[in-house]
Amino acid sequence: MNYPVQIEKLINLFAKLPGIGHKTAERIVFHILSEPIEYSQELSKILQNLKRDLKKCKICGNYSEKDICEICSDENRDKTKICVVEDPRDLYIIENLKIYNGLYHILFGLISPIDGISPEMLNIDSLINRVTDNVKEIIFAFSPTAEAETTSFYISKLLKDKNLKITKLAYGLPVGSNIRYADIVTLTRSFLNREVIS
Amino acid sequence: MNYPVQIEKLINLFAKLPGIGHKTAERIVFHILSEPIEYSQELSKILQNLKRDLKKCKICGNYSEKDICEICSDENRDKTKICVVEDPRDLYIIENLKIYNGLYHILFGLISPIDGISPEMLNIDSLINRVTDNVKEIIFAFSPTAEAETTSFYISKLLKDKNLKITKLAYGLPVGSNIRYADIVTLTRSFLNREVIS
């Protein structure tokens, strides 16, 4: 015996989301059923128009209600720097540090042969095309993984003829951590990249 | 800097679901954005009509497209037994064991003073009203918790003047488990409720 067909369909749709297994999807659907009708209707309304309301910015790729996003169209931004991120969420994380006033570029993934993600599936071409003579620095702001190394290496090679500084986030000890509990790779990087005090 | 307003709203709606924190909600929303438009539209369509398409069965409370659900309207069901469950999902679990042909009753929760859930918030009145002279057995099919004990005790008291057998799921060792790793309460119950072999 199965659940009514709408419930089954909804469970299957929710179970496709990342981090949500079949049991969690069941729990979600029965929770929605137990909520007042306004909840499911509001969810429905936003989902209905989501992909129409939000386009990808023609320059950086970030989701925006306009063709060109707020950051790319902001005249006060430093257009000599482009910070390259894996995912739109990473842009907001860096933006909220309030230490960077340059532009961004979103790749929507990282090169990962093991997961079948090749360079042409990512937003790399448009990055290369953006890098005109005005651009002086490309910052790779990726989580430290093998995929990030591969992607940085790949893009750096494509940009090698341009007169550019290419940087990436520093590896090192997390602030407040204890060196006795640091993993060997982090500690090695931290030692090799040691900072000059005076 | 915040996400575009539709993204923020959707994250907040998803973060209200059980088992979904703010970070998971973000991941879900950006995943939906990265999917083809058909996905969000189908999700939207089902959610739009969900609470209208599915009503609670007037007899047992289970979700159904009809006023009276399939089980309650099935003439071949043994109408002398009512299996009382906490949640609609539990009905399907028992139904799929294919060992029970009686009726069900869904409480939509269990009595839990600590969570502020009192008897009148549950589907208990309609259970008491259903128990006419034809009904010979009430089976409590709850997970073994303090709330289940309270709820069983409360309903049993309301039914005490009726000529009924009241039963509950057996406590004991899970099949395939090892008594050396069984918890003390389960093992005690299992010992006290020991079954006669011959």
Question: Of A126-140, A172-186, B78-92, which gets the smallest average pLDDT?
Answer: A172-186
Nearest to B33 among A16, A43, A50 (CB): A50
Query: Per CATH, is A76-168 categorized as 3.40.1360.10?
Result: yes
Q: Which residue among A31, A42, A45 places its CB closest to the CB of B18?
A: A31
- Residues B139-196: tens digit of each pLDDT: 999 998 999 999 999 999 999 999 899 999 888 888 888 888 888 888 888 888 887 7
Q: In whole angstroms, what is the distance from residue B64 CA to residue A160 CA? A: 64
The per-residue pLDDT for range B99-119, each reduced to its tens digit, is 999 999 999 999 999 999 999
pTM, to two decimals: 0.81
Are B138 and B82 a contacting pair, CB within 8 Å?
Answer: yes
DSSP states along B29-97: HHHHHHS-HHHHHHHHHHHHHHHHH-EE-TTT--EESSSS-TTTT-TTSEEEEEEEESSHHHHHHHHTT
Distance CA B40, CA B33 (A): 8
**Chain Cα centroid distance, residue A99:** 18
Q: Residue B50: which residues within 8 A CB-CB, separation 6 or more? A: A6, A10, A32, A33, A40
Chain B residues whose beta carbon lies within 8 Å of the beta carbon of residue A37 = 51-52
Total Cβ atoms within 10 A of residue B134 = 8
Residues 34-73 of B with CB under 8 A from A: 34, 37, 39-54, 63-65
Q: Mean pLDDT score of chain A, rounded to an integer?
A: 92
Domain covering B75-168: architecture: 3-Layer(aba) Sandwich (3.40)
pLDDT band, very low/low/confident/very high, at A171 (cuts 50, 70, 90): confident
Homologous superfamily of the B5-53 domain (CATH): RecR Domain 1 (1.10.8.420)
CA dist., res. A83 & res. A86, Å (int): 10
pLDDT at A190: 82
> Virtual CA dihedral for B123, B128, B134, B139, nearest 10 degrees?
60
Name residues whose C-beta falls within 8 Å of residue B149's C-beta, 6 or more positions apart in sequence.
none
Mean of pLDDT values over B17-26 = 93
Contact B40 A31 (CB under 8 A): no
Q: Which of A4, A17, A43 sits opposite B64 (nearest CB)?
A: A4
What pLDDT, on the 0 to 100 scale, is given for residue B197?
72
Write down the residue that tokens 């589907």 correspond to: B123
Where along chain A do its domains lie? 5-53, 76-168
Residue B115 touches chain A, beta carbons under 8 Å: no
Q: Is the pLDDT of residue A173 over 90?
A: no
Across the interface, whether the CB atoms of A30 and B87 are under 8 A apart is answered yes
- Determine how β-strand A78-85 pairs with β-strand A102-106: parallel
- Complex ipTM more than 0.85, yes or no: no
Mutate to test the interface with A, among B2, B13, B24, B50 (most CBs of A within 10 A): B50
Name the percent of chain B lying above pLDDT 70. 99
